[in-house]
Structures are given as structure tokens and as C-alpha cells.
Amino acid sequence: MTHFSTTAAVSGRNKFSLRFKFLGILLLVVLLSGKSWGQVTLGTSPYNQDFNTTTLPTGWTTRTSATANALGTSVTPVTTNTWASTTGEFRFVASAKSPLTSASLTATQNAATDRCLAVKPTGSFGDPGQAFTFQISNTTGMTNFSITFNAQLSDVQGRTTIYRVEYGLGTTPSTWTLVGSTFTDLSINSGAWGNSNITRSFGTALDNQSGNVWIRISCLVAATGSGSRCTFGIDDVNLSWTSSSVNNPATFTQQSSNTSTTQVGLTASANTNSNNIIVAFNAINSFGIPTDGTSYSASASLPTAGTVIYNGLASGLASVAHTGRAANTAYYYKAWSYWVYELFIGY
């Protein structure tokens, strides 16, 4: 996605006396080609997931052998099973909510349309190393992330498992950071069948990441106590964030040392987010708005009016003179800030 913010024109004649002002922010979208499997491109906040399905939603994986330095191995959850089944596995089960109760029969559980994604760890499966993992393509232009999910205790047993909300960055994170405090399965609903909401805020850790962002709910240490392990599930995930506005370039002006009767020198400095800029010129004080779906390079025409002469870092503009200009002729220039993210579509 590319968002543009503009300054107004710089105009001049011969030695080019300046006229300069800021205009309002312009927003548009450029969709860059590309696909990626199994990751989500976030749109409008919030992202919600209820797991009312029999297959993993795009972006989600269930994993074993997860560690503080490794994603773990992806495994496919069972499409349906009961809370009390002793088989070690990830599974889609009925959500541990009213009108169901801990005594609900198998037929009632299987018929429930409100589902959750759960795990039954055993001594040979997922204890430790179980993880519910969510992959985001990037968070460019997004800040202030927070997650809330419904943690579920659907089969109460004697051992206690410690869970963590973590994040990792990059294609295959080798470092995972704990967000907030840990919680245990037997702390959910005071240790009785049911559910409790868990909320964690990421501060600035996930802000404006151009690469992959991962969020997971994991168990990295073995359960304690005696007896079997509880069935633990997650439901009603809500991931929220704030979309960042794109600000104008901090400055945009004529560069007198690089200006002559046949060329115009310009300088600009980036906004506080260090967004790149594009610059266009015209012989009249009229400019079109950059078009959704178009990536602009030098010599590209804007819709209705204006020709692009520069696209790149604001600091690089000073080294690019606009040559071939006629003496005693007015030229107008306009600059946009923008940010870009790649659009990934998962299937």
C-alpha cells in the first residue's frame, strides 16, 4: 500500500523566486504484485478470528517443538474432537461457553457451531513446545498493537501448563519476546471449565515493521503437577492497532547552488517517519493526484497534469537536478511523501 502526503508547488523564473506552502494529506493505495502463502495482510483495524471452521484460517499454524529460539514444526489440527479425548493433538472443538456446560455430551459438542482451536498436550505431544502461531506480512503504517483472546479450559486435569504471549520478527524468527506476564491453564475461570479473556499490549514493538511479524501463544516449559494435562483452547481473537497517517515532507525548497538558467535544483527533508518522496513538475500550477494501483518512476505522467522527476529518499533529491529547462520560464514542483507495503494474499 502506498500512502501519499503532499507539499505544494515551488515555482520560479530564471533565478526562480520561491512560492511554497503545505497542502492537506492525500491518501491512495498502490497494490504491488506478489503472493505469499500462510500470512495475513492486515486491512482495517481490528482483525478478528473466531475459528468457527474445520481448517486453519489464513495466517495461522499450530506447532510443536517451539522454543525460545525456534518457530517449531507445523502440524495439522484434527477437524473435530471432544474436549476430553486423551489423544495428544491440536483439534477444533466446541467453544467452552454457555449454553454448553462441562457435562455436554459428545453429540452436543460436535453439533455446536461456536468452535475454538484447542490442544490436548501429553507427555509425547506438545509438552513443552506447543504453540498457536499467527503470521502477519508486515505492519507498515500501523502502530500501537494490542491483542485480546478468549482462553478456554475445556477439560480440567491435574497438571498445570504455563502459557506465554510472544512476538517474533522476520521470515523465520530466532528470537521470541514475552509480552506481559505468563498465565496458566488452571488460572482460567478460576480453574473450572469455562473461559477467560486475556489481553496483552505490544507497545511500540510491532510498529511499522516492513517484514513479517509473528504473534504466538505458546508453552515452552513442561507442565507441573501430577495426572493428565488439561485441554486448552483459544477463541475470539481480536488484534487491534492504530493506522499511521503519512505526514508531509518536513521541507521542500529550491537548491540555489544547483540552479541555473537551464536546470532547477531542489532539496527536501523527510518527515519524522523518514518516508520516501516523489516529486513532479508542470509548466502551470496544476497537478493530478497519483492513481491507486500505479507505481511512479521518473518521466511518468500524473493523471491530468504533472510529470514525475524523482522517486526515492528525500535526502537523494539534492543530487538530481531537473535539466533541460528553458530560461525565463516558470516551472512548478510538487512533492509527496508515501509509504509502501507489499500485499500478500494467502489461500
The residue among 93, 221, 120 whose CA lies nearest residue 161 is 221
Report pLDDT for 32.
30
**Weakest-pLDDT range from 55-59, 181-185, 319-323:** 319-323
Q: Which domain holds residue 126?
A: 47-243
Looking at the domain assignment, is residue 37 inside a domain?
Answer: no
Number of domains into which the chain is organized: 2
Q: Does one domain contain both 264 and 295?
A: yes
Q: Does one domain contain both 231 and 250?
A: no
User: In terms of pTM, does the model score above 0.85?
Assistant: no
Q: Pick the last residue of a domain from 243, 270, 302.
A: 243
Q: Does one domain contain both 271 and 313?
A: yes
Looking at the domain assignment, is residue 40 inside a domain?
Answer: no
Report pLDDT for 181.
98
CATH number at residue 198: 2.60.120.260
pLDDT at 292 over 80: no
Report pLDDT for 51.
98
Q: Does one domain contain both 213 and 253?
A: no
Q: Does one domain contain both 105 and 236?
A: yes
Q: Does one domain contain both 176 and 291?
A: no
184-197 per-position pLDDT tens digit: 999 999 999 999 99
Cell (9 digits) for 123? 507427555
Looking at the domain assignment, is residue 35 inside a domain?
Answer: no
Report pLDDT for 9.
45
Looking at the domain assignment, is residue 103 inside a domain?
Answer: yes
Looking at the domain assignment, is residue 205 inside a domain?
Answer: yes
Residues 6+ apart with CB under 8 A from 243: 44, 45, 141, 142
Number of C-beta neighbours around residue 274 at 10 A: 14
Q: Cell 523564473 belongs to which residue?
A: 13
Q: Pick the last residue of a domain from 243, 263, 278.
A: 243
Q: Does one domain contain both 69 and 201?
A: yes
Cis? peptide before 121, omega within 30° of 0: no
Q: Pick the last residue of a domain from 243, 272, 290.
A: 243
Q: Does one domain contain both 65 and 213?
A: yes
When pLDDT is cut at 50, 70 and 90, the band that residue 5 belongs to is: low
pLDDT at 132 over 70: yes
Distances (CA, A) of 223 to 80, 86, 162, 205, 309: 25, 16, 7, 29, 62
Q: Classify the phi-psi angles of 225: left when phi > 0, otherwise alpha if psi is within -120 to 50, otherwise beta.
A: left
**Weakest-pLDDT range from 8-12, 172-176, 221-225:** 8-12
Q: Does one domain contain both 55 and 158?
A: yes
When pLDDT is cut at 50, 70 and 90, the band that residue 275 belongs to is: confident
Q: Which residues of 71-110 are buried (b: 16+ CB within 10 A; e: fewer)?
A: bbeebebbeebbbbeeebbbbbbbbbbeebeeebeeeebe
pLDDT at 36 over 60: no
Q: Does one domain contain both 83 and 205?
A: yes
Longest Cα–Cα distance in the chain? 90
Q: Does one domain contain both 239 and 273?
A: no
Looking at the domain assignment, is residue 258 inside a domain?
Answer: yes
Q: Does one domain contain both 239 and 256?
A: no
pLDDT at 245 over 80: no
When pLDDT is cut at 50, 70 and 90, the band that residue 34 belongs to is: very low
Cell (9 digits) for 131? 504453540
